[in-house]
Amino acid sequence: MLKCSYKGLVVALVFLSWSPVQASADKSAEREKIDFRGGSSLIFSLPLKGREAKTFGPGWKRAVLEEASGRETPLFPMESFASMGGVIFARDYSPRVSPSGRYAVLDVLRAGVVDPGPLGTAEDSSRQYCPVLDTASGCVVSMQTGELCGGNWSEKADEWIVTGYEYDATKAMTQHEFSGANELWNQFQKSVKLNGSVSIRQHLVDSAGLINIMKCEPPNTSNRASYSSIARQLIREGDRNDAAYIEKELGFKNYER
């Protein structure tokens, strides 16, 4: 029987000398800040230490986009690193930033453990992804893999170039690919009908997390009902923190329990 458990999501931010960012590289620092042209910043903190660092290499447990307004948006908070796995942001690299400064491409290794592996013991397994961050809003607009991750930005425009790629690489990278609130809630309801007891959490994680959904699609008159339904479902599942986040964004004091 094959059991898989994610041990980490290693995010390597690959340096390009022409990228419109400023970053410091202090290996002894407890915090690192990368400033983007538009006034926002990416801040890394909580470095791996001891056994964690020995197992996964140098990295950070937390990354937050600080918007120009000062508001902070954590990246992948629903997959925060813990002893059994989660998100690790690799150190000593910078993002691949588009010429306008709007997008930053992050190189991601989704590393896990296959137990038992082919030799009968637990073995590491990983796959590369390249999520695209909107540096102004904090929205992760896409999370591609494979040959798309081998591209780079054009020197003069926000065009993603992949040598030999026969499709529209820019569209694949910059077009929003995750479910919005209405679609996600409909998908959840269908899953409940088909499978019975289903948690909404995985639906949220599949769209890079609740905060990401709300950063990419802020509440409006057409999606408020779905956000309210998602919040009530989170409360039923015991996740009051994420429900409270929705409540705050919607401007409600309390949801009907």
pLDDT digits (tens, 9 = 90+) for 15-64: 333 445 655 545 568 998 989 988 999 998 999 888 888 777 778 889 89
Report pLDDT for 14: 41
- The answer to whether residues 127 and 194 belong to one domain is no
Tens-digit pLDDT profile for residues 166-208: 999 999 999 999 999 999 999 999 999 998 878 999 999 999 9
Q: Compute the residue count for the chain.
A: 257
- The answer to whether residues 51 and 100 belong to one domain is yes
Confidence of residue 117 (pLDDT cuts 50, 70, 90): low
Element (H, E) at 202: helix 201-206
Tell me which residue range forms the domain holding 193. Answer: 181-250
Tens-digit pLDDT profile for residues 132-158: 999 999 999 999 989 999 999 999 999
Last residue in a domain, options 157, 174, 191: 174
- The answer to whether residues 148 and 25 belong to one domain is yes
Mean pLDDT of 121-141: 82
Instruction: Output b/e per residue, 147-186; b: 16+ Cβ within 10 A.
Output: ebbebebeeeebbbebeeeeeebbebbbeebbbbbeebbe
| In-domain check, residue 257 | no
Element (H, E) at 139: none
Mean pLDDT of 77-104: 83
Number of independent structural domains in the chain: 2
- The answer to whether residues 212 and 160 belong to one domain is no
Last residue in a domain, options 136, 159, 174: 174
Q: With contact defined as beta carbons under 8 Å apart, do 176 and 211 qualify?
A: no
Element (H, E) at 53: helix 50-56
Last residue in a domain, options 113, 147, 174: 174
| In-domain check, residue 8 | yes
Q: With contact defined as beta carbons under 8 Å apart, do 213 and 205 qualify?
A: no
- The answer to whether residues 166 and 208 belong to one domain is no
Using DSSP, state whether 54 is helix, strand or coil.
helix
Mean pLDDT of 159-164: 96
